[in-house]
Structure 1
Amino acid sequence: MFSENGSMQPTERWLKWGVSVLAAGVLAVSGLGAATAQNAKKSNAKPAAKAAAKKPASTAKKAAAGAAGAAAAGAAAAHSGPIELQVWHTLNPQQAAEFDTLVQRFNEQQHGFTVKVTGKPSAEALIEDGIAAVRAKRAPHLVELPDNRSPEFIARQGAILPMYELLAKYPIKDLRWFLPQTTSTMRDAKGRLLALPWMADIPIYLYNRDLYRRAGLNPDAPPRTWREMQAHLIALLQNGVSCPYATSWQTWVHVENLSAMHNTAYATRNNGLDGSNGAQLLANDLLHVRHLALMMSWVRSHLFPVRSDRDQADASFASGECAVLTSGSSALSLVQSKANFSYGVAPLPYYEEEATHPSTPFVGGSAFWALGGHSTAEQKALATFIAYLASPVVASEWHQKTGFLPLTEAAYRASDVSFYKNIPGAEAVVRAMANPPAKFTRGFRLNNYDRVSEIIDSELNAVWNGVKPPKQGLDDAVARSSAVMSAKR
């Protein structure tokens, strides 16, 4: 987390699957000496520097102790003057522009307080600003944190105000509509909402309908299975498409959700939901080995030339370079703003020899977490703002402009018919998420998963580059992950 000179270093995948540098730099220094810095994927995603070096233990203890004192002093300070809620995020430019529009509309309604949004350009800038804010007793009220697959761990930290506690004091009418499937990753074992899943994301199949037509493919019939997809990619390649297929978030799509789409266990102990201690990955089973072997054959055949562990491949699709993309539904924010072609979406493919029908994917993405230490008046104001975000009209607009899942059933019903009509397949994908989750699609809870996902990414890259065969890559990923998951946090 820290370099040898004590400066904080950003991590590469902090926006999707870890407590992130924000949690380490803002939360840990806000009295969270027990929190371990983690990095992230998805949720949803800006580039940051690669792996970070650890800070010496003695320095870390001093930083935590000093920050804890600063946080305690900040919490004790009584609020005075007009209330201005501070909301920090790391949204991409398209998502940030939409969020700014919604906040401006809220401020114009004159609720007796204002909301100030701060978008951070990098992990390092966010951390430095967070440390300064805590020391100046001006900690933010709401911050975006990624899904680290251990939300209970985050919620136990002293600077966090769990969402269910805030909303128990100041109820909002739309709370009963929070979709369980959308919010499951941000609930504890008792089903209590820990954070607002404002950036809930699922992996999807996006395809260029114009290129499909040019290749003689039916644009209204995207592939249901990976085998059918191979035939589509071959047709695209034979008709002059140099990049038939690209993927973002390779571990999320090709490892984690391969299990989910077939309703098979991703890890022991019920995917860690029965207790993450002792849980082991099952990502080297026959399903995963066969899938990775097929993907590697696509790489060699030039069907699958673009692969990324973050969201880089999204741009290759939005530009029209690649005909097919697997990525998060949040990629639609970029695609809607950049693509000058007709496109559609579909669920991830599956193997019909492995399942009679496809299941639903794991929900990922980041969420808004409330921070404690603020006055009662500020907490009440924060609940008012959250109620606004959860209102059907606002949540529906956010869903349509960004591709994130609708926060509530009411938000889904409020979505314009024209939105789904203009993006063929989008409504079916969203509607499927309203179904009750299957046995192994409710999510997973695994220790130190941010580090695990980095290990899997590195092993996938070794396979793509021909350094290791698929089985060895997956066996090594599981073996290396086992040691990491059993380590103390």
Structure 2
Amino acid sequence: MKFIPGAVPAQCARGLAGALLACALVTSAHAAVKVPVWHALQGHNAEVLQDLVRGWNRSQSDVDVTLRQFDTPEALDQSLDRAASAGTLPALAQIGNTHTLDHVARRPYVLPFHLLQGQAALKGTDWFLSSDNAFVHDAKGRLMAFPYMLEIPVMYYNQNAFRTAGLSPAEPARVWMELQGQLVSLANKGSRTCPLTSNLPVSINLENLAAVNNQFYAGADNGLTAKGLPSFSFNSTYVRHLSLMISWVRSEIMTRPDAGLRAVDRFAAGECAVLMSDSGHIGSFDAQRKLHFAVSGLPYYPEVTRKPGNPFVNGSALWVMKSDKPVTDATVAFLGWLSKPEQAARWYQQTGYLPLTKAAFNQTPDSYYQHLGAWRDLVAPYAQKSAVTAQGFRINNYPAIRSRFQQIIDTALDGQEPAVTALSSAAAEGNRLVRQAE
């Protein structure tokens, strides 16, 4: 994807960097301050980040940002713990919001981002994501980390596959049962091997089944209130939905979801007609010249809600590590540069992550969205106050809970147990693991 500049003229990179550093940093005339950044981005998005860092390093000589790439978020997290013990922490580290924000924020080596926002390089930045959204915001609406890799689940569709199947309009239905009819047509007319796939079985079939249908996912208002522990109770909507998904796998209009990247790769190669996955693949898909795709919202059940809600924000952010003042000031200068309209718009347009700032969104021209279907309309609501059911959720021990939910859903989709039994087991296991974390 080519970067499409916004309406504001690009400033001289060297001059901008110098202005930031003059406000935020006193450096040695002989040695650049090192700012190590650890991340687990792969493929296209890693290349976009590398290009941005190269641009920063070329623009000035006072701060040298270096990247270290990890194969998985888990490998990065394990290395962080070892680095904390050895005193070799990076300046910034990409950490996923696993809906246990407080657990990450309590790490002794983490510096809450909101403590740095008053510095000149960041002061006055108008962040895109509404402060009432629980993703990387604490209970007071303060940013705990630099909100750089935020994404939402979406429905991608291969436009050529829909045209070949003779579907009009050539886009997926937003109602689950109407989508079923389209998938049958796709399977019968050109997409037999893969009408639909996903790499987000828990996100699509549990978490965002609630949010998109304007329902709470867990008790205690998704764990965001102080009134007791959040609990799980999967009602008839979940039973109906999982039963439908089991029937789709059995009838081969859906390839069984998995949590890896195989589903994403198959869609990128043109093998699958529909993919439900995170928005952070938009840039990578757009770089595939032979792939003609667009984006739509996740389906909903009109019997449950008259209008679909917005799915939960997920993804990761850049957390600032505690360090000496020169390194912290240099880090702030770099983050301030990333937040400027030109860099922020480039990141949004080339990746598919949510906009970092309102300026990045507002200055992205209509031409960028022309071939992306409903992408702009899916993004825009996140700058506004969220519905209470879509503000996110915060549940202790959630990584373990999600892993267990994944196993249970896999068992159901494999036909080994009915939906009602699987969901009863999931609720019991989830509630046990929530209590275990106390």
TM over 0.5: yes
Is contact 2:126–2:359 with CA below 8 Å preserved after alignment?
A: no
**Aligned equivalent of 1:390, options 339, 348, 358:** 339
**Aligned equivalent of 1:255, options 188, 206, 211:** 206
User: Under a length normalisation based on structure 1, what TM-score does the superposition of the two structures give?
Assistant: 0.79
Structure 2 CA distance, aligned partners of 1:178 and 1:305?
A: 35
Q: Following superposition of structure 1 onto structure 2, how do residues 416-431 of structure 1 map, counting pairs within 5 Å?
A: 416-431=365-380
**Aligned equivalent of 1:207, options 141, 157, 177:** 157
State the partner residue of 2:48: 98
Change beyond 3 A, Cα 1:362–1:110: same
User: Under a length normalisation based on structure 2, what TM-score does the superposition of the two structures give?
Assistant: 0.88
State the partner residue of 1:438: 387
Give 1:218 shift: 2.5
State the partner residue of 1:307: 257
State the partner residue of 2:59: 109
Give 1:183 shift: 5.9
Q: Does 1:470 align with 2:409?
A: no
State the partner residue of 2:355: 406
Structure 2 CA distance, aligned partners of 1:81 and 1:138?
A: 19
Give 1:279 shift: 1.2
Change beyond 3 A, Cα 1:111–1:414: farther
Structure 1 CA distance, aligned partners of 2:429 and 2:281?
A: 31
State the partner residue of 1:269: 220
State the partner residue of 2:21: none
Give 1:227 shift: 1.3
AA in 2 matched with 1:444: F
Give 1:316 shift: 1.3
Q: Does 1:330 align with 2:293?
A: no
State the partner residue of 1:198: 148
SS of equivalent residue, structure 1 residue 366:
strand
Considering only aligned residues, what root-mean-square deviation do their CA atoms show, in Å?
Answer: 2.1
SS of equivalent residue, structure 1 residue 473:
helix
SS of equivalent residue, structure 1 residue 185:
coil
1:264-308 CA deviation, whole Å, 9 max, x = no partner? Answer: 1111111110038521013x2111111111111111111012411
Q: Does 1:448 align with 2:397?
A: yes
Is contact 2:404–2:429 with CA below 8 Å preserved after alignment?
A: yes
Structure 1 CA distance, aligned partners of 2:258 and 2:197?
A: 8
Change beyond 3 A, Cα 1:421–1:266: same
Is contact 1:318–1:339 with CA below 8 Å preserved after alignment?
A: no
% same residue: 32
Is contact 1:145–1:369 with CA below 8 Å preserved after alignment?
A: yes
1:322-381 CA deviation, whole Å, 9 max, x = no partner? Answer: 100000001223322336131110110101111010011100001110000x11121111
More deviation, 100-109/306-315: 306-315
Is contact 2:73–2:96 with CA below 8 Å preserved after alignment?
A: no
Is contact 1:90–1:121 with CA below 8 Å preserved after alignment?
A: yes
State the partner residue of 2:94: 144
Structure 1 CA distance, aligned partners of 2:41 and 2:107?
A: 24
Structure 2 CA distance, aligned partners of 1:290 and 1:131?
A: 43
Q: Following superposition of structure 1 onto structure 2, how do residues 67-78 of structure 1 map, counting pairs within 5 Å?
A: none
Q: Does 1:240 align with 2:190?
A: yes
Instruction: Give unpaired runs (5+ residues) of structure 1.
Output: 1-79
More deviation, 94-103/383-392: 383-392
Is contact 1:182–1:200 with CA below 8 Å preserved after alignment?
A: no
State the partner residue of 2:9: none
Give 1:433 shift: 2.8
Q: Following superposition of structure 1 onto structure 2, how do residues 222-237 of structure 1 map, counting pairs within 5 Å?
A: 222-237=172-187
SS of equivalent residue, structure 2 residue 370:
helix
Q: Does 1:188 align with 2:138?
A: yes
Structure 1 CA distance, aligned partners of 2:131 and 2:246?
A: 32
Give 1:251 shift: 0.3
1:8-61 CA deviation, whole Å, 9 max, x = no partner? Answer: xxxxxxxxxxxxxxxxxxxxxxxxxxxxxxxxxxxxxxxxxxxxxxxxxxxxxx
AA in 1 matched with 2:221: N
Structure 1 CA distance, aligned partners of 2:98 and 2:371?
A: 33
Give 1:125 shift: 5.7
Is contact 2:155–2:296 with CA below 8 Å preserved after alignment?
A: yes
AA in 2 matched with 1:264: Q
Change beyond 3 A, Cα 1:152–1:170: farther
In the alignment of these two chains, the number of paired residues is: 408
Is contact 1:182–1:405 with CA below 8 Å preserved after alignment?
A: no
Higher relative contact order (CA 8 A, sep 6+): 2
More deviation, 119-128/212-221: 119-128
Is contact 1:250–1:310 with CA below 8 Å preserved after alignment?
A: no
